[in-house]
């Protein structure tokens, strides 16, 4: 693969440095036809933090002609014809986010801003964008293969619960009228698809590619498939959906996984092949060293640019995958548990290029990935046998075979700090604090406190009740408290006054009003008044979402309490922000329902004062 150009990122970027977005740009390259046309719900940003950039540049590096249609007008069928019919296939993605999460809050209110659109303007992509784009293309191009990819397609690849309609939906492959899904991180599968189509194979014959999902009329081609409950069975019985999801969780291993078969009415099968194998360090480096423009398409400048690029322009992606396996996170289904890392040399080269950007102020905003301090595989066995089935690496207790070391990450951070032109290197993508504490050598915690935090370290304990934390797949509250004590102790030793600020989540499965009250008491005792609280958001293909829909933990099939009533969810959220006057009525109602009226009053431990006329004494100011 070609090496990335080393040039100042802040210079004016010309349209010619991007892949074609118009027929005129195709002609300037001497093209009559694209091999692939990529249709994206995001604005066109040619930076490796955006899926459209990676997939199109990987295809380009493998000799294919690729054009991009960004945010077509879904009300106009002509909007997907601006580059003509591709020789091999249309590629379709909603963008870097699920379009429904992008558009709506957990309370299903419309968000005011879309950071992946010009000027942050909302409304430039449809709801369920992948489905809409797929059908828009199919109306005009009856025979051209359509391949879906990106987070929306990846996490809806089989039957899934859709929170926004509150019902079970079919595989997105069927609803979008597409032929294939490239799920997960698709560099390997998309090249295999491209090479197969270029060799003359019909799209319906591409049943053998890892990391893909296809439709079929038979399962004879499948080797030892795992047969899931049928879609009709799952529609009738939620327990069947929980059982299906549990089976899916066991087949996420790229080395030992088996095909999954899901039957639909009229003799249609949706078949998921095992995941693609993870990228080697050399392959990972090569992906990030392709000739990205590392900017948004110039025409967006008049609208104020693309807000999302500000978050990543001076950040480094050092790893993929997460061995944490939090229940509410979709990373296990999308990137997997096997840690993949870029080399120090690749990261240092990217950082050095940043220092030549006129907009660079000397600060690297982040060095990380899903979890910053996962820089080595959980164990050597994962490299050949994949992650264990039925056993998690960190919870409920750390695996005895877990490799715990921060030496490689500390070495990388030191090298980055030493680069000429670099003043500060921050770690903002989050760390797994239980993993950090497992390391007998606390050099990482010391250097984190001394060099890589600016006043506050944001961590995600999510909750304080161990009953809820077990469902979440998070460490116990005691582990969090020990890390905070260690971090604050080291901060004082290095002469800094720094604190840990927690991210908290309300109404996660396992949390009743009783646990929500205990979380409020935690905020009271630490003097913490959170301005923002994440209310649990049931997004596709997470264990927690399956629990929300079915009331069952798909890993054990045991029942788990879950707040599904919007009013109860509002009460749980209000309890964490009990100091907000707007939440007063909800907090009073929640405390009464939880039989915790001892927290209503004037004492130092009380959360709110009683209502007038409720029988509680009210203090009156003496008249003068």
Report the pLDDT value the prediction gives residue 613, as an integer from 0 to 100: 54
Instruction: Look at residue 621 and tell me if it is in a domain.
Output: no
The CATH number covering residue 449 comes to 3.30.750.210
Q: 79 and 196: one domain?
A: yes
Please give the tally of structural domains in the chain.
2
Q: 27 and 158: one domain?
A: yes
Q: 216 and 83: one domain?
A: yes
Instruction: Look at residue 479 and tell me if it is in a domain.
Output: no
Last residue of a domain, one of 411, 435, 454: 454
The pLDDT tens digits of the residues spanning 13-44 come to: 788 899 999 999 999 999 999 999 999 999 99
CB 288 within 8 A of CB 4: yes
State the Cα torsion 387-390-393-399 to the nearest 10°.
Answer: -110
- Taken as a whole, the chain contains a residue count of 624
Q: 62 and 178: one domain?
A: yes
Q: 82 and 181: one domain?
A: yes
CB 384 within 8 A of CB 314: no
Report the pLDDT value the prediction gives residue 10, as an integer from 0 to 100: 53
CA pair distance 424, 371, nearest whole angstrom: 20
Last residue of a domain, one of 172, 194, 220: 220
Q: 62 and 203: one domain?
A: yes
Q: 29 and 171: one domain?
A: yes
Burial class of residue 268 in the structure, from the number of CB atoms within 10 Å of its CB (0-12 exposed, 13-18 middle, 19+ buried): middle
Q: 176 and 317: one domain?
A: no
Q: 216 and 320: one domain?
A: no
CB 576 within 8 A of CB 521: no
Q: 317 and 215: one domain?
A: no
Which residue's entry shows tokens 């249309």?
A: 90
CB atoms within 10 A of CB 264: 16
Maximum distance among all alpha carbons in the chain? 94
Report the pLDDT value the prediction gives residue 615, as an integer from 0 to 100: 45
Q: 216 and 318: one domain?
A: no
CA pair distance 596, 251, nearest whole angstrom: 44
Kindly give the interhelix angle for 584-593 and 566-576, rounded to the nearest 10 degrees.
110
Question: In order along the chain (624 residues), what is the average pLDDT of each group of 10 residues?
Answer: 43 84 97 98 97 98 98 96 98 97 96 97 97 97 97 98 97 98 96 98 97 96 96 98 97 95 97 96 97 95 95 94 93 92 97 94 95 93 87 90 96 98 94 96 97 92 95 95 96 94 96 97 91 91 97 97 96 96 96 97 94 52 38
Q: 185 and 82: one domain?
A: yes
Report the pLDDT value the prediction gives residue 129, as an integer from 0 to 100: 98
The pLDDT tens digits of the residues spanning 71-82 come to: 999 999 999 999
What range does the domain containing 358 cover?
Answer: 311-454
pTM: 0.94
Last residue of a domain, one of 436, 454, 472: 454
The pLDDT tens digits of the residues spanning 432-474 come to: 999 999 999 999 999 999 999 988 999 999 999 999 999 999 9
């Amino acid at each position: 693969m070609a090496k990335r150009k080393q040039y100042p990122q802040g210079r004016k970027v010309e349209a010619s440095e991007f892949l074609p977005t118009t027929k005129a740009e195709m002609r300037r390259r001497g093209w009559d036809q694209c091999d692939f046309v990529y249709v994206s719900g995001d604005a066109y940003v040619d930076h490796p933090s955006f899926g459209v950039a990676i997939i199109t540049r990987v295809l380009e590096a493998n000799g294919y002609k690729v054009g991009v249609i960004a945010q077509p007008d879904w009300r106009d069928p002509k909007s997907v014809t601006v580059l003509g019919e591709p020789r091999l296939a249309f590629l379709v993605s909603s963008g870097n986010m699920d379009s429904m999460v992008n558009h709506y809050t957990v309370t299903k209110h419309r968000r005011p801003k879309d950071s992946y659109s010009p000027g942050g303007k909302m409304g430039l992509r449809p709801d369920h964008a992948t489905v809409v784009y797929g059908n828009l293309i199919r109306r005009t191009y009856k025979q051209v293969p359509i391949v879906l990819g990106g987070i929306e397609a990846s996490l809806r690849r089989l039957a899934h619960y859709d929170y926004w309609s509150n019902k079970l939906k079919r595989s997105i492959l069927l609803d979008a009228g597409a032929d294939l899904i490239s799920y997960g991180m698709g560099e390997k599968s998309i090249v295999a698809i491209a090479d197969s189509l270029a060799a003359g194979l019909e799209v319906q014959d591409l049943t053998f590619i890892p990391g893909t999902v296809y439709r079929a009329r038979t399962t004879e081609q499948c080797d030892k498939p795992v047969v899931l409950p049928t879609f009709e069975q799952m529609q009738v019985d939620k327990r069947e959906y929980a059982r299906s999801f549990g089976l899916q969780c066991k087949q996420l291993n790229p080395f030992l996984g088996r095909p999954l078969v899901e039957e639909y009415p009229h003799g249609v099968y949706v078949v998921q092949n095992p995941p693609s194998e993870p990228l080697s360090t050399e392959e990972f480096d090569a992906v990030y060293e392709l000739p990205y423009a590392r900017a948004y398409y110039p025409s967006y400048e008049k609208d104020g640019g693309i807000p999302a690029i500000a978050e990543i322009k001076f950040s480094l992606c050092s790893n993929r995958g997460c061995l944490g396996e939090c229940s509410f996170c979709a990373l296990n289904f999308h990137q997997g548990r096997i840690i993949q890392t870029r080399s120090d040399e690749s990261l240092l080269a990217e950082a050095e290029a940043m220092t030549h950007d006129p907009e660079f102020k000397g600060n690297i905003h982040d060095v990380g990935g899903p979890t910053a301090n996962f820089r080595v595989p959980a164990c050597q066995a994962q490299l050949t046998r994949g992650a264990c089935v039925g056993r998690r690496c960190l919870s409920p207790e750390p695996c005895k075979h877990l490799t715990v070391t921060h030496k490689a990450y500390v070495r990388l951070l030191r090298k980055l700090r030493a680069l000429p032109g670099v003043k500060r290197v921050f770690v903002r993508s989050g760390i797994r604090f239980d993993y950090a504490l497992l390391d007998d050598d606390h050099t990482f915690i010391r250097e984190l406190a001394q060099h890589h935090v600016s006043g506050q370290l944001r961590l995600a304990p999510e909750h304080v009740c161990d009953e809820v934390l077990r469902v979440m797949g998070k460490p116990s509250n005691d582990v969090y408290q020990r890390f905070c004590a260690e971090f604050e102790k080291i901060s004082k030793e290095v002469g800094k006054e720094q604190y840990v600020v927690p991210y908290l989540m309300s109404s996660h499965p396992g949390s009743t009003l009783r646990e929500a009250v205990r979380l409020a008491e935690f905020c009271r005792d630490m003097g913490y008044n959170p301005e923002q609280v994440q209310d649990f958001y049931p997004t596709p293909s997470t264990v927690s979402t399956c629990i929300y829909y079915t009331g069952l933990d798909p890993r054990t099939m045991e029942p788990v309490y879950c707040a599904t009533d919007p009013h109860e969810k509002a009460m749980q959220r209000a309890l964490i922000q009990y100091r907000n006057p707007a939440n007063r009525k909800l907090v009073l109602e929640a405390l009464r329902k939880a039989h915790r009226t001892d927290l209503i009053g004037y004492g130092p431990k009380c959360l709110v004062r009683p209502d007038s006329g409720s029988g509680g004494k009210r203090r009156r100011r003496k008249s003068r």
